[in-house]
């Protein structure tokens, strides 16, 4: 790899291999894209002309807009439907197999970062079914589409596009070589480019971050991400609770997903654990509704909140938690049977 190739992110060589800007939707003349290129040149020393040529090779992808846009008719939230997508036997058995295959790596990550192996496995299971589907969207085009043609979240995706070009320069990779989700998430852990730059670790020690072909770096990086966001080793995640008759849970739920409800406040409202026990720690109360079925109420502790830093949905975090618990139970039974 030549110094010039590295310096220009491989853009000149790339242009020779791709169709002309006239053949595809071009961002080279897009006002917001031009401002982005100028800012990248000023802040990070990129060649503005080369960056505009690269953006000219990015394609507007209408699929990305359709996928990220909220539905015109939002469906009714159903916890049981959502849960069913991630708690089936295939996902659980796949998690046990993944754990057995990468047992030493998971134990090393757990020891270093304090995050249980089952939580790391469950996140990879929910995100990509253990790497079986990591996304096929060309990432520069996906992020350019969202950064320049989707105003509601343009600022977020401009930052991610910025981080993608920085990541490519740091990894000495062609920026158009990345493939991932429609929102720019990459590899086994589905990290956005900014998360890769901030939280990814070279866990196998081979001198590079590889999220595409091997989960070892992903295992260490997920553990590092959760630890950096405040994971508390050995502490609880969540407990299902019963509410006394007449208690309106809305004000408690409205307190937000970050734990802020004092244990004494929880007790004084008559909230009790359905199974297990309440913990003397600040918590958040959240609901998991299913049409035609009993709404579940849970207290989430600091570690539950940390999982929501990966994805801010309480449905998502609870799916990770319950998948982790189910994988742990099945893994332990298998280990016991093999003794």
Q: What share of the chain is helix, strand, coil (3-state, %, to 5)?
A: 55, 5, 40
Q: Are the CB atoms for 316 and 126 separated by under 8 Å? A: yes
- In 10 A of CB 151, how many CB atoms? 9
Residues whose CB falls within 8 Å of the CB of residue 42, separated by 6 or more in sequence, listed in order = none
Q: Are the CB atoms for 307 and 317 separated by under 8 Å? A: yes
For the beta sheet containing 296-300, the strands, ordered from the edge strand earlier in sequence to the opposite edge, are 272-273, 238-242, 296-300, 284-288
The conformation of residue 191, written as its DSSP 8-state character, comes to B
Q: Is 118 a catalytic residue?
A: no
Question: Of 39, 62, 107, 127, which is the active-site residue?
Answer: 127
Closest by Cα among 151, 164, 150 to 55: 164
Q: Would you name the residues annotated as active-site residues?
A: 127
């Amino acid at each position: 790899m030549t110094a010039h190739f590295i310096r220009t992110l491989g853009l000149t060589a790339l242009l020779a291999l791709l169709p002309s800007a006239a053949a595809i939707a071009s961002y080279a003349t897009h006002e917001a894209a031009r401002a982005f290129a100028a800012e990248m040149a000023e802040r990070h020393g990129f060649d503005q002309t080369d960056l505009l040529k690269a953006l000219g090779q990015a394609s507007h992808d209408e699929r990305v807009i359709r996928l990220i846009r909220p539905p015109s008719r939002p469906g009714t939230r159903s916890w049981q439907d959502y849960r069913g997508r991630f708690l089936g036997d295939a996902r659980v058995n796949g998690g046990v197999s993944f754990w057995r295959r990468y047992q030493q790596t998971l134990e090393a990550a757990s020891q270093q970062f304090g995050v249980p192996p089952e939580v790391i496995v469950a996140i990879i299971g929910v995100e990509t079914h253990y790497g079986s589907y990591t996304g096929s969207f060309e990432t520069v085009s996906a992020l350019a589409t969202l950064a320049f043609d989707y105003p509601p979240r343009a600022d977020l995706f401009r930052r991610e596009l910025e981080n993608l070009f920085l990541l490519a320069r740091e990894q000495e990779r062609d920026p158009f070589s990345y493939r991932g989700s429609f929102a720019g998430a990459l590899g086994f852990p589905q990290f956005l480019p900014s998360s890769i730059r901030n939280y990814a670790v070279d866990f196998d020690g081979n001198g590079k971050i590889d999220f595409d072909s091997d989960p070892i770096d992903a295992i260490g990086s997920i553990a590092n991400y959760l630890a950096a966001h405040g994971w508390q080793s050995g502490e609880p995640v969540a407990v299902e609770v019963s509410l006394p008759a007449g208690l309106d849970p809305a004000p408690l739920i409205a307190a937000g997903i970050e734990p802020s409800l004092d244990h004494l406040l929880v007790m004084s409202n008559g909230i009790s654990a359905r199974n297990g026990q309440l913990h003397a720690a600040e918590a958040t109360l959240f609901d998991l509704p299913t049409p035609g079925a009993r709404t579940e109420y849970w207290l989430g502790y600091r570690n539950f909140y940390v999982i929501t830093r990966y994805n801010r949905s309480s449905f998502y975090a609870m799916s990770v938690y319950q998948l982790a618990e189910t994988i742990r139970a099945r893994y332990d039974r298998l280990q016991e049977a093999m003794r």
